[in-house]
Amino acid sequence: MPDAPKPLTIREFQEHIRERYYATDHARGTPATFLWFIEEVGELATALHGDDRENLAEEFADVLAWLCTLANINGLDLEAALRKKYLTDGGPAGHK
């Protein structure tokens, strides 16, 4: 039986996206990249209304990848941002 894959941190995934796509993403810039991200969010919205679990998983993965892209080209460490906002002092008060 093969070993289970090593857990993947958000930082590791964001770095993977940076290594593979940063030059292209940076050249495209934030406004155009944001439009790609919104397109993926739309595809996720459509998948949420269907019953194709494989497609749903793919769309969640795409949204996360494009979010990492936006963070990369804007110099933001998503894992650090999540830790600060959601894992410090009991997390945010009220609704997110």
Structural domain spans, the chain: 10-77
Name the residue type at position 59.
Answer: E
Question: Where does 10-77 sit in CATH, by number?
Answer: 1.10.287.1080
Please give the structure tokens belonging to residue 53: 């679990």
Give the pLDDT score at 83. Answer: 94
Give the pLDDT score at 31. Answer: 98
For residues 10 and 70, what is the distance between their CA atoms, to the nearest angstrom? Answer: 14
Give the pLDDT score at 96. Answer: 55
Contact 66, 37 (CB under 8 A): yes
pLDDT in tens, 70-95: 999 999 999 999 999 999 987 787 66
Contact 71, 77 (CB under 8 A): yes
What stretches in the chain show pLDDT beneath 50? none
